[in-house]
């Protein structure tokens, strides 16, 4: 029997607010343990939560960007469970009436388009952190993170492979970063994802029993863990076994998943509306106002790069993967209307240097002005593309301009017709046999003759000019 993989994703995005979801404590990362706490986020009796308006705005803007509808009435609910990093004994979340519902993200996976539906995105608060230090046999609890706003974004079970999961997650991450609502860093834990995976016989419409994966903190872990889990479930089912509904942890060292706990059902959480919080009303004017603040979103910008700048889809995708990169590209094109030339050089040379140094494009030591100066030298025939690639690393690490480096290194191409004519006549004289072949109709020898001229010029002749002049000389 062959199986189809079915995957749905729950993503928790930490929202980039200054203060927490229901109190005024700072959300800043890395401060002394428990220094950013107050009676509300410590869960002290008698303290009352107040909804953070900025977090609500970020949720609405994200929902709009995800093509969701925004609920006009929002109810916050208590989700009960006991854990030392959750001092109230419940998490404030949204249950039956989430702020965002029924949206989608369109993806391009290995050349084909794919829509992943989003069933909901709701606001909730993060828990604190338990720290299991080995010394002294103690565990510690740091409640600085307790109450940090989270947006949980949940898909329908629409994905069919690890590649689709990674494509969805990258697209979602880019969107959140573009909107400036989340740092989008999986390694730092401000974007966390839990894939739900099941298998079913090919052709079947009913869903199989799912397993939820946790402890995944990079795109690579996402791909590896999903692929591992699909293999594991395939083996169990093929051998006639059954899948248990459970939560499994990804073990990076072993490259395996292992059972963490069997899955709770929703009723185990005893959800009920939080009596301390009034229903939150969101009117159309507020939604429209926030819609007006949305910048051009990555997908629209990618499409525009294709239609307006004539870029291939791949280039457009790479260059719109961050707003800063797209801004840099457009700054170049404004000064130099050769989009594909700019794109090639950015994706090849510039991104290589930036990635190697771990430098974001907005701090690139080569500004768009300096890059354009270099590309113009290639375009007007002063230097070859090869020479441009050669000096680029020096432009990157130093202050010198392209023109200075070209001068210093004597990289100018010879485009002067007189000088080239002279070389050409020499070459024609010394290669009479090939010249006869060419004139006899064997046009392919032209490449050889061009090569001889290039050699005579020690690689400095402008190849386009050479073949132009050669054709003229050979037809006379």
CA 304 – CA 281 distance, rounded (Å) = 36
Residue 157 binds ligand ADP (CB under 6 A): yes
Q: Provide the minimum distance between the beta carbon of 104 and ligand ADP in the complex, in angstroms, as a whole number.
A: 13
Which span (34-42, 330-338, 389-397, 458-466) binds Zn ion, by CB under 5 A?
34-42
Burial 312-321 (b: 16+ CB within 10 A, else e): eeebbbbbbb
Residue 98 binds ligand ADP (CB under 6 A): no
Residue selected from 202, 266, 432, 433 as contacting ligand ADP according to rule CB under 6 A? 266
Bridge partners, residue 129, by sequence: 142
Identity of the residue, 80 or 263, whose beta carbon is nearer to ligand ADP in the bound complex: 263
Residue 121 binds ligand ADP (CB under 6 A): no
CA 93 – CA 39 distance, rounded (Å) = 19
| Closest to 394 in 3D by CA, of 355, 353, 429 | 353
The answer to whether the CB of 290 falls within 8 A of the CB of 59 is: no
Residue 7 binds ligand ADP (CB under 6 A): yes
Bridge partners, residue 461, by sequence: 414
Contact partner, 11, from ligand ADP, Zn ion, none, Cβ < 5-8 Å per class: none
The residue length of the chain stands at 476
Residue selected from 13, 23, 199, 466 as contacting Zn ion according to rule CB under 5 A? 23
Q: Provide the minimum distance between the beta carbon of 249 and ligand ADP in the complex, in angstroms, as a whole number.
A: 16
Contact partner, 224, from Zn ion, ligand ADP, none, Cβ < 5-8 Å per class: none
N- to C-terminal Cα separation, the chain: 73
Residue 192 binds ligand ADP (CB under 6 A): no
Residue 276 binds ligand ADP (CB under 6 A): no
The answer to whether the CB of 414 falls within 8 A of the CB of 462 is: yes
Q: Are strands 246-251 and 139-142 parallel, antiparallel or unpaired?
A: unpaired
Q: How many helices (H) and strands (E) does the chain have?
A: 16, 16
Across the chain, which distance is largest between two alpha carbons, in Å? 101
Which residues 6+ apart lie within 8 Å of 299 measured at CB? Answer: 106
Taking CA atoms, 204 is separated from 157, 200, 245, 443, in Å, by 14, 6, 19, 61
Bridge partners, residue 33, by sequence: none
Identity of the residue, 7 or 366, whose beta carbon is nearer to ligand ADP in the bound complex: 7
Number of residues that bind ligand ADP (CB under 6 A): 17
- Site string (206-245) toward ligand ADP, x via CB under 6 A: -xx-x-----------------------------------
Residue 38 binds Zn ion (CB under 5 A): yes
Contact partner, 246, from Zn ion, ligand ADP, none, Cβ < 5-8 Å per class: none
Residue 435 binds ligand ADP (CB under 6 A): no
Residue selected from 41, 100, 162, 172 as contacting Zn ion according to rule CB under 5 A? 41
Residue 25 binds Zn ion (CB under 5 A): yes
Instruction: Report the interface residues with Zn ion, using CB under 5 A.
Output: 23, 25, 38, 40-41
What is the binding site for ligand ADP (CB under 6 A)?
A: 6-10, 154-157, 196-198, 207-208, 210, 263, 266
């Amino acid at each position: 029997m062959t199986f189809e993989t079915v995957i749905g994703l729950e993503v928790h995005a930490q929202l980039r607010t200054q203060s927490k979801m229901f109190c005024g404590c700072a959300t800043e990362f890395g401060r002394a343990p428990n220094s950013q706490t107050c009676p509300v986020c410590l869960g002290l009796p008698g303290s009352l939560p107040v909804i953070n308006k900025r977090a609500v705005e970020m949720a609405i803007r994200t929902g709009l960007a995800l093509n969701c509808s925004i609920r006009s009435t929002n109810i916050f609910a208590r989700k009960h469970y006991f854990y030392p990093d959750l001092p109230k004994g419940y998490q404030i979340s949204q249950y039956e009436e989430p702020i965002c519902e029924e949206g989608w993200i369109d993806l391009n996976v290995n050349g084909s388009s794919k829509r992943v539906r989003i069933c909901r995105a709701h606001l909730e608060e993060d828990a604190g952190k338990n720290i299991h230090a080995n010394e002294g046999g103690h565990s510690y609890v740091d409640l600085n993170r307790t109450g940090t706003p989270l947006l949980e974004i949940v898909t329908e079970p629409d994905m069919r492979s690890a590649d689709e999961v990674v494509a969805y997650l990258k697209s979602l991450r880019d969107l959140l970063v573009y909107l400036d609502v989340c740092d989008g860093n999986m390694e730092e834990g401000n974007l966390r994802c839990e894939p739900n995976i099941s298998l079913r016989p090919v052709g079947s419409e009913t869903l199989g029993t799912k397993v939820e994966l946790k402890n995944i903190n990079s795109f690579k872990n996402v791909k590896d863990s999903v692929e591992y889990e699909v293999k594991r479930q395939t083996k169990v089912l093929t051998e006639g076994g059954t899948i248990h509904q459970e939560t499994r942890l990804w073990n990076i060292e072993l490259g395996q998943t292992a059972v963490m706990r069997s899955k709770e059902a929703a009723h185990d959480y005893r959800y009920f509306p939080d009596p301390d919080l009034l229903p939150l009303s969101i009117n159309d004017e507020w939604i429209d106002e926030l819609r007006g603040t949305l910048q051009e979103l990555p997908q629209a910008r990618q499409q525009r790069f294709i239609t307006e700048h004539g870029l291939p889809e791949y280039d457009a995708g790479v260059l719109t993967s961050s707003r800063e990169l797209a801004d840099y590209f457009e700054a170049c094109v404004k000064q130099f209307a050769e989009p594909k030339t700019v794109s090639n050089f950015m994706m090849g040379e510039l991104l290589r240097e930036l990635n190697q140094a771990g430098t974001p494009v907005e701090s690139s030591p080569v500004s768009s002005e300096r890059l354009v100066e270099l590309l113009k030298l290639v375009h007007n025939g002063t230097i070859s593309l090869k020479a441009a690639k050669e000096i680029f690393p020096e432009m990157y690490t130093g202050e010198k301009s392209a023109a200075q480096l070209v001068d210093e290194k004597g990289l100018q191409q010879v485009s002067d017709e007189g000088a080239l004519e002279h070389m050409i006549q020499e070459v024609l004289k010394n290669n009479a046999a090939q010249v006869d072949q060419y004139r006899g109709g064997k046009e392919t020898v032209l490449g050889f003759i061009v090569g001889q001229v290039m050699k005579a010029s020690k690689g400095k002749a402008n190849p386009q000019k050479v073949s132009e002049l050669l054709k003229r000389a050979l037809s006379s």
